[in-house]
Chain A
Amino acid sequence: MNYLELISHVLPEIAVLVTALVLIGMGCAGGSRGGGKAVLAVTAAGLGLALAAVVFGPESGRLLEGMIVVDALTRLFKAVLLALTLGTALFLFPGGEAGGNEGRGAENSALLLLALLGLLVVVGTENLLLLFVGLELASLALYLMVVFAAPAGRPAEAALRYFFFGSVAAAFLLFGFSFIYGATGSIDLRVIAKVLAAHPVEPILPLGVGLALVGFGFKVAAVPFHLWAPDVYQSAPAPAAGFIASASKVAGFFIVAKVLVLGFGVVEGSADWGAFAMGWAPLVAVLAALSMVVGNLAALAQQSVRRLLAYSGIGHSGFILTALVAANAEAVRAVLFYSVIYGVASLAAFGVAGCVLRARGADRLEDFAGLGRTAPAAAGVLALALLSLAGLPPLVGFFGKFQLFAAALSGGTPGTVPGLLWLVALALLMSAVSLYYYLRVLKQVFFAPAPADAAPTRDTSAGTAVCLVCGSVLVLLGLFPSLVLQPLQRALVQLF
């Protein structure tokens, strides 16, 4: 290995980092005054370069004992993360005049890119230590993004809460990794898998995996590690919340699936009804069940739409973890597919929520009244996003959920009752519940009359464009899911 090779494999990360540094420089030089168009241009250019580096870069490679991994799957997900980040950046500008963020768009954008850098590192590594570093880098940037826009008050409080939770969860994660290292003598996932396959499992290992699950549970907002999420989603600026709900969650599920299935497939155990066996599967199944029940039921009682989306996100973590319990190639494909489309739908929903928030000053359900008349495009996109989250055909959410549940039922011997039927039945029930609260929002949007004094709901053209792109992606993928499923399938074949 020479340095040129190393650089060529991390070129996307380098592009993002350099862009972030340039942005910080621009911020110092006062470059983000005047609407922030220059900042947006630099951000978009940096992301475009990084995307080009992903697309035209090396197709595979494994450097420094798994610290840097490039294969079809990591490239696909790096591209997805870059696209979601670009969407977030377009939401940030030039709507950045809201809150106390005026004139500091460059710093805000730099934070976004640093968070992205962390996520790219997370996606592109099979080394537990680098994984941890990447997660921390992303988390630190996200804490700041949550608090960045507002002068004081709730966002600060939410950010602080996020920070405390994050630090403690990170401690659990690191503690868990140290046990894993103790049990297997390696922090390289591939080596760990080999060691586990060859030697009897040390009793200390499940302890390590269990502790790591606490950290991962925090990252994907699974019950009971979810308590930060509602406040953060509600208080953070809508683009930041959108980023946390989309890109950050996509990376979270990617790494959970990769670590558990690839590294610890041997100690899966079993979550089949009546035949629980020790391993991570029963733990994940419990997290999934709790998340589905608590997330979906608590969402019923919400008045704030962003808070509702937060609880719905918790519920969706439960749905996704349900499939992960099955732990085969099909399940991983379903998990990754669903996390991507969940990210797209969330980004669109938060984009519209932010637009309503700016126009009417709050995001209670009543504030969405009459949106269908005052802003038909935004209302249409919101409807697409929510109905996709609810899983109605022909939107892609239906297909994603179908894949999740089919994957969860696919394990086990043919002809017998699938062991995970209990979990899938619960998921179906909760899915039906979720339709109720999504429709509550849409009822306000389309059937309640707009208040007479409602300010016109106008979003920036960039924000509207992102919303429309997300909406069309949801429809297009619903009609032709193969557009994403086939590349994903090909990428996974290389992995397994």
Chain B
Amino acid sequence: MTETATLFLALALIPLPPLAAAAVLLFMPGRLRRPAGAIAVVAQALALFASGTVLVRVVAGGDGFREVLNFTWFQLGAETVVPLGLLVDATNAPVLLMVSLVGLLVFIYSIAYMGGDPRAVRFFCFLSFFSAAMLGLLVANSLLLLFICWELVGLASYLLIGFWFQKPAAARAARKAFIVTRIGDLGLFLGMIWLYREAGTLLFYDGGAGVLETAVLGGLAAGAAGGMTAATAIALLLFIGAAGKSGQVPFHVWLPDAMEGPTPVSALIHAATMVAAGVFLVARAYPLFEASATALSVVAWVGAATALLGACIAVAQREIKRILAYSTVSQLGFMMLSLGVGGPVAALFHLLAHAFFKALLFLGAGSVSHGCGEEKDVLRMGGLGRRMPLTFACYGIGMMALAGFPFFFSGFWSKEAILHAAQAWPVSPGPFWIALAATFLTAFYMSRQMLLVFFGRARSEAAAQAHESPRLMTAPLVILAALSVLPLVVATPAWPWFEALVRGGEAQWALSRLLAPEVWPLLAGSILLVGAGVGLAWWIYHPGRREAAGRDPLEDRLGAGHRVLAEELYWDRTYDFTVVRACRWSGRLAAALDRWIWGGAVALAAALARLFSALADRLDRRGLNHGFDLGCAGLRAGGIGLHRAHRGQLHFLLTTLGVGAVGLLLLLAWL
């Protein structure tokens, strides 16, 4: 087999094992919980192995390595061919490895976390299905295939958020997530159709004819319609889809509610992988976005707004997972911001780093609430550092990575790269300052959470009796903690290996670059900001303070502002009063029309059809069948005489044939 064929075999083998596992688990009896978990984990491990070989090949491939394999999906008529394709390059290969690795760790964690659930088999089935769809999304070389997988991950997300559908909140959250992301998907769908109309293909790369290649892009950037080029319109529509999936303002409302799902789901889908699909889409279609400065500006400003709003709201939340959810919203905003200001490599690196430490934080949060009796309110925890030392250590690493503690955490370097890109944006300094503010807030709210959960005294009965989680749950935490530290070596300004991998070129080791005049002031400034955030949090929440349990000291200091933030800027309520209410009224109108006007017509048609079908049946059954029954009874009774008596029936039966034939011939003659 040639090297390319092996590569594509490995590429195809990434999504297939989880898919097969999902198919097997679908038919598995519900009592086989342990084998189900084992099957899912083994399949995921296979995917991980295949991703690893693909990444090795990509790294070995060097500059601008890209392989595509296109094939015909089906053909309509003589000319219209609908192709699909697989693609591997430096953009998706690292993400593939990340998704399969985080997936594997979350699967292992789930064995312990969901082991007691009576529907654990179904849970692993859904998880494997999600993993297959997500990996399929990443390897797609066609917007169509990407869109199909995009919808499938949406479905998996819906199924998993509502996994405990007996909880009304979970069922509602699942519906909300599905509907809100569907609004974004409509944009993506329209963008896809428009793109197909303009380009005649949906393949990303196709030997010069793909939509991301210069020949097509030139055409898109030239044609203007309604004051903007086709490239701008298509890029904006695609971005609506990406914003819906990645929880960008104003679509972010579904993501915090999605935390009603089981914690492994939050970690895998709503922190590490699926929500990053929007960022990945923009990164994948980056040449298209680059063809339109307007679209990039929109991406940058929306990202900046999301980064700041998410961080603000996270400051005043009390539920441990909800804080993390808003932090995810904020970090996704950072990634979008980075894409918008022309730093796709920084965005991609932040995506990878964020996936590891945010999965770590979610799994850690799961371990924390698992340890203290499913408690979720951070104000009712406290002092857990002594009782859950391993979780504490891992969570601490995750927190420092997210808050951007200097030097030894991946989050620091990826955030630094984003700030650097934002600073260099020639269009406006706004996003840069917003990003700095968000950095400060991030350090503040993460320190707040850390201090409230792990330090001080226990503020509830459950927290006082907390215990460390089983090893199957802590082991993935340790691995993820290691991964939150390790990747930093590949993307520091001193050794920009990752940038060289994606952009092409050779990475040179040079420590002196850290002290270059365009690097160190920003480095120092952001370290100061992080320090200020942590210090502020320490001042307000220091472990020795004495306050009533269940009351947030921030409430007194911020007053009404705190209430607005705690209510999440009244975003949901605004939607309830406007969009939801308008939908409800138009729904009532449509229902009334349906019942009284269309319904009447349908009922009439149905009555006619029923009459006709009864007639046809009766003709067949009573007229012919009954007659034939008699005829056959006669035959069986023996006796030609009886037969002769019923000959009329038989004649009638065969006459239908003759009448039919004559009818046909008369029709011929009439023509």
Contacts and interface: CB of A to CB of B under 8 A. Distances in A.
Check if A and B associate.
Answer: yes
Interface of A: 152, 156-157, 160-161, 164-165, 168-169, 172, 206-207, 210-211, 213-214, 217-218, 224-225, 227, 230-231, 269, 276-279, 282-283, 286-287, 294, 297-302, 330, 376-377, 380, 399, 403, 406, 410, 433, 480-482, 485-486, 489
24 contacts: A156-B632, A156-B636, A160-B632, A160-B635, A165-B657, A168-B654, A168-B657, A210-B661, A214-B657, A214-B664, A224-B657, A224-B663, A227-B624, A283-B668, A297-B609, A297-B612, A298-B617, A300-B610, A301-B613, A302-B617, A330-B77, A433-B609, A482-B72, A486-B72
Contacts of A489: 75
B657 A169 contact: yes
Contacts of A403: 76
Given A172-B657, A300-B610, A278 B664 contact: no
A224 B77 contact: no
Contacts of B425: none
A-B pairs, 7 with minimum CB distance: A224-B660, A278-B671, A157-B632, A297-B613, A298-B616, A301-B617, A301-B613
B659 A269 contact: no
Contact of B667 (A283, A297, A301, A482): A283
Query: Which range holds the interface residue count of chain B?
Result: 35 or more
A323 to B, nearest CB: 13
Interface of B: 27, 72-78, 609-610, 612-614, 616-617, 620, 624-625, 628-629, 632, 635-636, 650, 653-654, 656-661, 663-665, 667-668, 671
Contacts of A486: 72, 75
Contacts of A206: 668
B104 to A, nearest CB: 27
A248 B613 CA distance: 27
B135 to A, nearest CB: 17
Contacts of A301: 610, 613-614, 616-617
Dominant secondary structure of chain B at its interface with chain A: helix
Residue of B614, B628, B636, B668 with most partner-chain A CB within 10 A: B668
A349 B660 CA distance: 30
B661 A157 contact: no
Contacts of A217: 660
B671 A211 contact: no
B664 A283 contact: yes
Contacts, number: 108
A172 B661 contact: yes
Most A C-beta atoms less than 10 A away, residue of B27, B75, B77, B613: B613
Contacts of A156: 632, 636
Contacts of B660: 214, 217, 224-225
Given A168-B654, A210-B664, A410-B77, A224 B659 contact: yes
Given A165-B657, A231-B625, A297-B612, A207 B671 contact: no
B650, B658, B660 pick with most chain A CB within 10 angstroms: B660
Contacts of A276: 671
A90 B301 CA distance: 65
B211 to A, nearest CB: 22
Contacts of A169: 657
Given A213-B664, A376-B27, A410-B77, A224 B671 contact: no
Contacts of A225: 657, 660
Contacts of A161: 628, 653
Contacts of B650: 164
Given A152-B636, A482-B72, A286 B653 contact: no
Of B72, B636, B654, the most chain A CB neighbours within 10 A belong to B654
Contact of B653 (A227, A294, A399): A227
B601 to A, nearest CB: 14
Contacts of B671: 269, 276-279, 282
Given A161-B653, A210-B665, A297-B609, A227 B620 contact: yes
Given A164-B650, A224-B663, A227-B656, A278 B668 contact: yes
Given A157-B632, A164-B654, A482 B73 contact: yes
B160 to A, nearest CB: 21
Contacts of B657: 165, 168-169, 172, 214, 218, 224-225
A150 to B, nearest CB: 13
Contacts of B628: 157, 161, 231
Contacts of B656: 224, 227
Contact of A298 (B27, B620, B658): B620
Contacts of A165: 653-654, 657
A279 B650 CA distance: 32
Contacts of A410: 77
Contacts of A282: 667, 671
A486 B72 CA distance: 10
B284 to A, nearest CB: 23
Contacts of B653: 161, 164-165, 227
Given A278-B671, A301-B610, 18 more contacts: A160-B635, A161-B653, A165-B657, A168-B658, A211-B661, A214-B657, A214-B660, A224-B659, A224-B663, A225-B660, A231-B625, A283-B664, A283-B667, A287-B664, A297-B609, A298-B617, A480-B74, A485-B74
A210 B661 CA distance: 8
A410 B76 CA distance: 11
A156 B628 CA distance: 12
Contacts of B613: 297-301
B75 A482 contact: yes
A217 B632 CA distance: 25
B620 A230 contact: yes
A486 B635 CA distance: 52
A205 B640 CA distance: 41
B614 A406 contact: no
A161 to B, nearest CB: 6
A398 to B, nearest CB: 12
B72 A207 contact: no
Nearest to B608: A297
Nearest to B650: A164
Contacts of B624: 227
Contacts of A380: 27
A165 B657 CA distance: 8
Contacts of B661: 172, 210-211, 214
A286 B617 contact: no
Nearest to B621: A230
A376 B635 CA distance: 44
Contacts of A152: 636
Contacts of B663: 224
A152 B638 CA distance: 14
A406 B75 CA distance: 12
A480 B665 contact: no
B626 to A, nearest CB: 12
Nearest to A285: B667
A302 B618 CA distance: 11
Nearest to B658: A168
Contacts of A298: 613, 616-617, 620
Contacts of B667: 282-283, 286
A221 B78 CA distance: 31
A401 B408 CA distance: 60
A315 to B, nearest CB: 12
B529 to A, nearest CB: 51
A279 B671 CA distance: 9
Contacts of A207: 665, 668
Contacts of A299: 613
A249 to B, nearest CB: 19
Q: Of residues A169, A210, A299, A403, which shows the largest number of chain B Cβ atoms within 10 Å of its Cβ?
A: A210
A286 B616 CA distance: 18
A230 B619 CA distance: 13
A294 B625 contact: no
Nearest to A276: B671
Contacts of A377: 27
B577 to A, nearest CB: 38
Contacts of B74: 399, 480-482, 485
